[in-house]
Amino acid sequence: MSDVVLRLAEVERVYRAGEGSVWALAGVSLTVRAGELVAVMGPSGSGKSTLLSIAGGLEVPTSGSVEVAGVRLGGLDSTAVAHLRRDRIGYVFQDFNLVTDLTAAENVALPLELGGSSARAARASAITALDEVGLPEVADRFPDQLSGGQQQRVAIARALVGERRLVLADEPTGALDSQTSLAVLQVLRARIDGGAAGVLVTHEARYAGWADRTVFLRDGRLVDTTPERDDARRLLAEPS
Amino acid sequence: MQRNAVRWGLLALFVDGPKYGYQLRTELDTRTGGSWAVNVGQIYTTLDRLVRDGLVATEGADAEGRELYMLTEPGRVALAEWYLTPVTETERPRNELAIKLAMAARDPSVDITIVVQHQRTESMRQLRDYTDLRRQANEDVDLTWSLFLDHLIFALEGELRWLDHVEATVLRRRYTRPAPASTYAPTPPEAAEIAESGRARR
Ligand SMILES: Nc1ncnc2c1ncn2[C@@H]1O[C@H](COP(=O)(O)OP(=O)(O)OP(=O)(O)O)[C@@H](O)[C@H]1O
Ligand SMILES: [Mg+2]
């Protein structure tokens, strides 16, 4: 189908670890469409971050294929993957990954500037994005002058700025209190409803509830997925 | 549904002014998403009792000639007392899910990870559906409905955390001590299937 933004097919990722090997992903297939947010849940070490970094072209699968916005990553050279990543994919890292000697606004503007926007236009978009995540006042501060939760929101603003087709977020609410988490989910959800596709890794069921579907990872395999929507109001009306 | 809860729920509806009988039903319905499933008959019987007990009194009729009821002073006092009294009797101890998982946990023929995962997927589906409703709900329009949904969402979140806990506890115990001999033969095909697929995964 044409509206598929992310397609993982039988993806395996094996890490060499000393003598043995670790099957971080052992054959995962997943399709995410435009307008769809998929949550990934699973115990620590089950392969969630590995899945995300392969979807984002940061890591190469040992076998299997990855397609983003109709382009097979396996067929691209590293420069082309880097461009696709910069222009089309927003990525929120589990550990934020901000550039320490750039201000918050510069961090957010970076992908746009690298993509050829004028410095002024990039800064304007960055300020808007920071505003959306509730941080209009920190634009000119450096990451080490921000709290963990503020750094996380800057990272989210950076992932959402520009015209991203695919948003990949690894525990984006990990450092946030529940009110801020909900605000961030609202921003993310609005972007998805506006036509992007998203994958949200989270330990918190309450936040996975914002996704259209939740898939469960265990030992590098998808073991289950929630079914399509039902009419929740009808379910509620059934006497329990 | 506890009968008392309906009585108090109805009484509480009067805080924002006089109401006619059928209106109580509609309001109770929208504020609880229909989950209280109280029929009209029960509404009127309860209303009659509230009047008999002096907590609610008739208060003329509206433009369409429907009889209106309002909260009395003793009604207001009773309502305040209800708010201040913590709820002690809930359905918690008889929750089927709690019993099922707690029983499955001690049955060595059951692969607890599969049982837990089936429930986890279902609980997550419900959580997603309630979250949908919550996102559409407007606190400013109906605060009761919004907070009622939050209650369901937090409860499901707790349920999912408990499921993780059950799984972790059972697995830890199975790896650190020998499984006790089964004292009965599990027969339902479902159970056999679960045990079978459990063996296949190991
Ligand atoms: N570079 C690496 N070299 C070797 N093993 C790795 C490497 N990266 C990840 N792993 C292993 O792969 C498995 C999956 O790791 P991953 O980071 O994807 O887990 P996760 O589900 O994101 O966990 P968490 O919830 O703790 O973030 C783990 O067993 C991990 O130890
Ligand atoms: Mg991780």
Among the listed residues B79, B126, B74, B113, the one whose alpha carbon sits nearest the alpha carbon of residue B200: B113
Q: Which of A212, A223, A232 sits opposite B130 (nearest CB)?
A: A232
**pLDDT of B1 higher than 50:** no
The residue type of B32 is T
CA distance A77 to chain B (A): 39
A:B CB pairs within 8 Å: 77
Chain A residues lying within 8 Å of B35, measured CB to CB: 236-237, 239-240
Dihedrals phi, psi of B133, to nearest 5 degrees = -65, -40
pLDDT at A232: 57
- Over residues B60-84, the mean pLDDT reads 92
Spatial separation of the C-alpha atoms in residues B10 and B25, rounded to whole Å: 9
- Over residues B38-50, the mean pLDDT reads 91
Give the SS3 label for residue B136: helix
Q: Do B129 and A232 touch (CB under 8 A)?
A: yes
**ipTM of model:** 0.86
Closest residue to atom 24 of ligand 1, CA basis: A44
**pLDDT of B24 higher than 80:** yes
| Cβ-Cβ contacts under 8 Å for A121 (sequence gap 6 or more) | A112
Closest residue to atom 26 of ligand 1, CA basis: A44
Percent of chain B scored above 70 by pLDDT?
A: 83
pTM of the model: 0.84
**pLDDT of B123 higher than 90:** yes
Instruction: Please name every residue paired with B56 in a beta bridge, in sequence order, or none if there are none.
Output: B71
Q: How far is the CA of A165 from the centre of ligand 2 (A)?
A: 22
**pLDDT of B170 higher than 70:** yes
Chain B residues lying within 8 Å of A181, measured CB to CB: none
Task: Look at the block and give the residue holding tokens 């309630």.
Answer: B130
- Over residues B98-113, the mean pLDDT reads 89
Residues in chain A with pLDDT < 50? 1, 238-240
Atom of ligand 1 nearest to the CA of A51: 18
Half-sphere exposure (Cβ direction) of B82: Cα atoms closer than 13 Å:
16
Among the listed residues A182, A168, A170, A194, the one whose alpha carbon sits nearest the alpha carbon of residue A57: A168
Among the listed residues A3, A1, A2, the one whose alpha carbon sits nearest the alpha carbon of residue A196: A3
Which of the four pLDDT bands, split at 50, 70 and 90, describes residue B107?
Answer: confident
pLDDT at B200: 43
Please name each of the domains of chain A with its CATH number. 4-237 (3.40.50.300)
Chain B residues lying within 8 Å of A42, measured CB to CB: none
Higher pLDDT, B88 or B82: B82
Q: Which of A208, A218, A237 sits opposite B37 (nearest CB)?
A: A237
Which of the four pLDDT bands, split at 50, 70 and 90, describes residue B73?
Answer: very high
CA distances (Å), origin A80, targets A8, A11, A87: 19, 21, 11
- Over residues B60-76, the mean pLDDT reads 93
Spatial separation of the C-alpha atoms in residues A136 and A126, rounded to whole Å: 10
pLDDT at B31: 86
Q: Do A225 and B121 touch (CB under 8 A)?
A: yes
The residue type of B162 is W
| Cβ-Cβ contacts under 8 Å for B150 (sequence gap 6 or more) | B134
pLDDT at A234: 55
Ligand nearest to the CA of A20: 1
Instruction: Please name every residue paired with A6 in a beta bridge, in sequence order, or none if there are none.
Output: A32, A68
- As given in the structure block, the two tokens for residue B97 are 């899910």
Q: Which of A211, A224, A236 sits opposite B128 (nearest CB)?
A: A211
pLDDT at A231: 59
